[in-house]
Chain A
Amino acid sequence: MKKLIALVLALAMMSGVMSAVAEGFTPAASYDVGERTFNAGTIALEAAAAGGGQVSSDVYEGEEGKDYTDEKVYTYNDYTSALTSSMNWDVLSWETSDDSAITDYIISGFYTFKVNGDKTGYAIVPEAAAEMPVDVTAEYVGSYGVAEGETGKAWRIALNPEVSFDDGTKVNADDYIYSMQQQLNPKMLNRRADSWYDGQFSIVNAKNYLYAGSTVYDAIPDSATALLEAGTDVYLDMDFWGVVGAPDADGNPAPQYVSVKDETEYRDAAVEDETDDEAWVSAKYIYENYLAEGAPYASYAPDYLKVASTAKSVTWDEVGLKKIDDYTIDFILEAPVAEAAFYVPYNLSGNFLVKKDVYEACKSFFDENGQPVDTEEEAATVTTTYCRSLDTTVSYGPYKLTSFQLDKEYTLSRNEAWYGYQDGKHLGQYMTDNIVVSVIADHATAILAFESGEIDGVGLQTEDMDKYAASDYISYEPQSYTTKLTFSTAYDKLVEHGTNSQILVVDEFRKGFAFALDANDFATAYTAAGTAGYGLLNYMYCYDPFSGALYRESDAAKKALVELFDMTYGEGGDYATLDEAYEAMTGYNMEKAQELMAVAADKAIEAGIWDGESDITLDIRVYNSDTIYVQMYNYFKAQLTEAVKGTKFEGKIDMTMTPDADYYNTMYSGGADMIFSTWGGASMDPFGVIARCYCDAADGSGNQMEVGYDTAAINMTIDVGGEIGEITDTLQHWAMWANNAVVDVPVISEKLGAFADYAYSTRCEVVAAIEHAFMNWFPTTSLYYRNVASLTSQKVNQASDTYLTLVGFGGIDFITYNYDDAAWADYIANNTLVY
């Protein structure tokens, strides 16, 4: 009997397997997305203004009715979660944002960004400089590499003669020369030296002076392959792989630059399992597998591959910083500064001034073996304790450090020797007398301290939002990041998943999914302070540094999104104006989503990538299985279920969620169906961000996270009018052009020249077209723009309620007080603060 039952069961199982095999669906070998061309319409070309333009110098004059000079004491109580990473607020070598938080109070930059008169943006005004910079390139023709006819390479700075250190010692040009000599001191290798030789504001011979006689590394002048074939050694910047200083088998740390022929392996601490393939990596391995021609990150080769040379030994006289007189210095640069009215002050918004006697007293001298020696001349290494403790700190800014207690607190008070309190140019500023920054590591304690009136601002986390989201005292600081739901469209990889997730390659499916999501609801329900996001770039990005205009607020950017979500405006449209349509946007249209899903189902069946019967499972990879991810996943699942109602997908589609700490790499290798992807970058460079993050990123053929979506296979046509008319090139090339590429995009650059030749309004329109084109087939759909939320105390007022590019809410300069210290202590003792 048992044998009979076993036989029957075995037959039943075999029958089940056979039927399953018989019913198994084999999708088509490939899927043709068809030709993709985006017509961006007409963009009228406007040439850039000569010199780029002018920045406002009209500074906000402060809050009306406030007495900035009364005898009462106003203290701003701030907090930080830790002070442990670094203890160095020396302008020449500061390391972390904790350091710069102190530095910013105790120095005056040559120029400073302030809230402008109508509190809509920023103004630039001289601070430690007396006037705006003057182009004196013509005076240096024939020297410092300046050629006849060049401009923008030498800048004269008239120094503010009122600047003094906190002991009253006046500052003159000699102090700046000494300070720069220390900044570039080859025996000190001060951390911030690279500000003066690596970037837009590179001083002539600064690098040679710093590395005199040593090997220096510069960007490759030709392709790495060509250089290697010609016998020139090429070096990899090990920072590309994050392994600078990583040990080799003998414990020797990896230098920053290693020959791409070098096979010495270094332990990559980021790979926990030492048996993993890439736990030990050599420069040769990284080059050959990631940066060589045809390798996935080949487009990064110019940034991370270098050629070596020996730095020329130069004297200080050959360095491009000259004292003209006691209160005038000239910066002579390696390359001209474009759009100088903004970028010269921008690059000189900090300072490098140190006080000579204190700086020298703080020095220690060591030989090659780390043994102390007596003089700098005989030393191999010079270190300093300047600005690492209260005793060694010197101020020449509006505040001076008055106490510093490790891991507990630091305090600053008005630097009465600061010229700004008497020069009449800072009226309506600096009402704050003292600043106290406490270390509060525990967030719950910080909230209690804020509610008790002990601190005047507090950052908020997701769990705080239920209580404070509607507070009158909440403010949002935008971050540059946009979080999106990104789909894989790599057909072969999706088929390999074996869950019929290849349905994602159908454009209408992704668009339908996107239309089923309400970004407003999502941002409110699942983020701490995020705001609904629809585009790739958020409200942080400024496209015109002269006006401070924000990309996301431009008509071109709004139009791109309104059209993307099939909204209409104007005569016969759903909305009267573009602004109305934009304001009404939620990204949500379930009816439309269902229509698109129905089309997608038919299309998928017709193309043979789905049989209309098999179950489909879409997997979303998330960082971990925290409650918030589960909630987000449930939201997607519910919306997808709703979107496929009444279509052939109904009842056949499901979602799963897989925690995967390495989900970006999983997606990039085609291992995921969907992920959350978050990108952002330099807020003053929306052009570069959209190119690097989306259209011309690492894999050399298109984008980063949107695997399978090839921007080199998408064409975009722009009608520029006139004799040129329509120009069609790949989306990748348009993005590269917008990121200032010329040679690599001949079709565009031969007709239009350089992107930088055009007015910012034109550049903005081009970027909007690129954004629209990229999102047009919904390889990704935005969910929210990231923000940081914080509460501001009833005691104080910020200059601006909304975040302004480069100046935030106005900063300590413009904070005003509703209570002085005594009145506030009395108020909080007798009242309960309600936020």
Chain B
Amino acid sequence: MTKYVIKRILLMFLTLFIITIMCFVLIKLLPLPAVREMGKDINLVLMRREKMGYNRPIMVQFFLYIKNILTDWDWGVGEQMYEGLEIWDVMMQKLPYTVVVNLYSILISIPLGLGLGIYAALKKNKWQDTVISTLVMVFISVPSYVYAFLVQYIFCFKLNWFPLQLASLSQAGSLFSGKMFISMVPAIMSLSFGVIAGFTRYTRAELSEVLTGDYMLLARTKGLTKAQAISRHAMRNAMVVILPMIFGEFIGILGGSMIIENIFGIPGIGNLYVNSITVRDYNFFMALNIFYTLIGLVSGIVIDISYGFIDPRIRMGSKK
């Protein structure tokens, strides 16, 4: 197992390196964005460009880029957006908001999604299942920003239960204060509907299939109660499929949601990636690209390893 993990980690870095170099070379083949007007920030940008070897061959630039990151943790400065600000500083200021809002959303969605899925599976083809399945189809089909507008209009504007926008730090004191949490509720709700529906659908489908398995009959004939059979045998088997989905949602946390963040005034990272491409801020693009690639690769490893814990029959790296 340890050998397998080390191998996967080494492969991960190799993959990351290959993806990074591909992105870097491709992006450098595009025209260099203009540095506008005279000024200190522009001067700083030009100076940084010099330091990063913008006028040298692409592979030299790549070497300098990696060297600056590894030796100075220097990811460059914003050239077309957040001009002159350190890329890393901007990302680190914005990332916590995205992570916290999405984390709350996942933490709420997992128990609700699993619970509803289990309940629907147990009540399969009864009216409870029909109601849940219908709602699931609705919530999966409708994009989250539609809920966002509805949530904002009904709960924030009409009922006045929550503020329209996320509280600022000057209002709430900290990211983890009660006031901040309450102001996050509409965004959490908007993000959760689709995720809950997704978990419910997968859980119901997997559990329904597992519940009809012969070993479930065997478990009951051995004398286990229905609840015992479900928790010890059915759920464990169903989770082999569901757990990767949960991990997948965790990866999505870091991506954020551009539309939800815009609607609820969340100063998160959601629109940073798209904007960096739109305005051709290559430093931001590269930093975010590496960041997201790394997250995706780490998640892949974590998911793979998790299989072994969920189902002991799965042996990682075993030749047998």
Contacts and interface: CB of A to CB of B under 8 A. Distances in A.
Contacts of A369: 50-51
B223 interface: no
A191 B42 CA distance: 9
B170 A244 contact: no
A70 interface: no
B43 A246 contact: no
Given A383-B40, A383-B43, A408 B34 contact: no
A217 interface: no
A191 B38 contact: yes
B55 A405 contact: no
Contacts of A188: 40, 43
Interface in B141-194: 149, 152-153, 156-157, 160, 163-166, 168-170
B40 A191 contact: yes
Contacts of A93: 39-41
Nearest to B34: A245
Contact of A438 (B39, B165, B275): B165
B169 A190 contact: no
B275 A84 contact: yes
B262 A441 contact: yes
Contact of A406 (B93, B156, B170): B93
A251 B40 contact: no
Given A84-B81, A87-B85, A448-B157, A454 B164 contact: yes
A252 interface: yes
A451 interface: yes
Contacts of B300: none
A440 B168 CA distance: 12
Contacts of A315: none
Contacts of A256: 38
Given A247-B32, A269-B33, A370-B50, A445 B38 contact: no
B236 interface: no
Contacts of A402: 170
B168 A438 contact: yes
Interface in B18-54: 31-44, 46-48, 50-51, 54
Nearest to A93: B40
A135 interface: no
A251 B39 contact: no
B233 interface: no
B82 interface: yes
Contacts of A452: 156-157, 160, 164
A9 to B, nearest CB: 53
A438 B262 CA distance: 12
A388 B85 CA distance: 9
Contacts of B93: 406
B94 A406 contact: yes
A448 B168 CA distance: 18
B170 A85 contact: no
B83 interface: yes
Contact of B168 (A243, A366, A405): A405
Contact of A190 (B32, B40, B51, B262): B40
Nearest to A190: B40
Interface of A is mostly: loop
A189 B38 contact: yes
A252 B55 contact: yes
Interface string A444-456: 1100110110100
Contacts of A87: 82-85
B252 interface: no
B112 interface: no
B296 interface: no
A100 to B, nearest CB: 14
Contacts of A407: 94, 267
Nearest to A439: B265
A86 interface: yes
A488 interface: no
A252 B170 CA distance: 44
A659 interface: no
B212 to A, nearest CB: 47
Contacts of A269: 31, 33-34
A88 interface: yes
A405 B267 contact: yes
A86 B38 contact: no
Given A411-B170, A445-B164, A88 B157 contact: no
Interface centre among A189, A190, A244, A448 (most CB of B within 10 A): A448
B41 A86 contact: yes
A254 B35 CA distance: 9
Interface in A239-295: 243-247, 250-254, 256, 267, 269
B42 to A, nearest CB: 8
A384 B275 contact: no
Nearest to B97: A408
B305 interface: no
A440 B166 CA distance: 10
Contacts of A366: 47
Nearest to B39: A191
Contacts of A438: 165, 168, 265
Interface in A95-117: 95
A653 to B, nearest CB: 43
A415 interface: no
B90 interface: yes
A268 to B, nearest CB: 9
A388 B169 CA distance: 18
A246 B34 contact: yes
A381 B47 contact: yes
Given A87-B83, A408-B267, A243 B47 contact: no
A88 B263 contact: no
A453 to B, nearest CB: 10
Nearest to B80: A85
Contact of A409 (B36, B41, B170): B170
Interface centre among A194, A244, A445, A448 (most CB of B within 10 A): A445
B197 to A, nearest CB: 24
A214 interface: no
Nearest to B79: A245
B169 A267 contact: no
Given A244-B34, A442-B262, A445-B152, A403 B81 contact: no
A406 B90 contact: yes
B81 to A, nearest CB: 5
B35 A245 contact: yes
A418 B277 CA distance: 44
B37 to A, nearest CB: 7
Contacts of B84: 86-88, 388
Interface string A167-193: 000000000000000000000111101
Interface string A682-700: 0000000000000000000
A799 B275 CA distance: 39
B51 A370 contact: yes
Contact of B41 (A88, A243, A445): A88
Given A85-B83, A188-B43, A267-B31, A439 B267 contact: yes
18 contacts: A87-B85, A88-B83, A189-B42, A190-B39, A191-B38, A244-B37, A254-B34, A256-B38, A383-B47, A403-B169, A405-B168, A408-B166, A408-B265, A439-B267, A441-B265, A445-B164, A448-B153, A829-B160
Interface of A: 84-88, 93, 95, 188-191, 193-194, 243-247, 250-254, 256, 267, 269, 366, 368-371, 381, 383-384, 388, 402-403, 405-409, 411, 438-442, 444-445, 448-449, 451-452, 454, 829
Given A84-B81, A95-B39, A256-B38, 18 more contacts: A87-B83, A88-B41, A93-B40, A93-B41, A95-B37, A189-B42, A193-B38, A370-B50, A381-B43, A403-B169, A406-B90, A407-B267, A408-B166, A438-B165, A441-B265, A444-B149, A445-B263, A452-B156
Closest 4 CB pairs of A and B: A191-B39, A245-B34, A370-B51, A407-B267
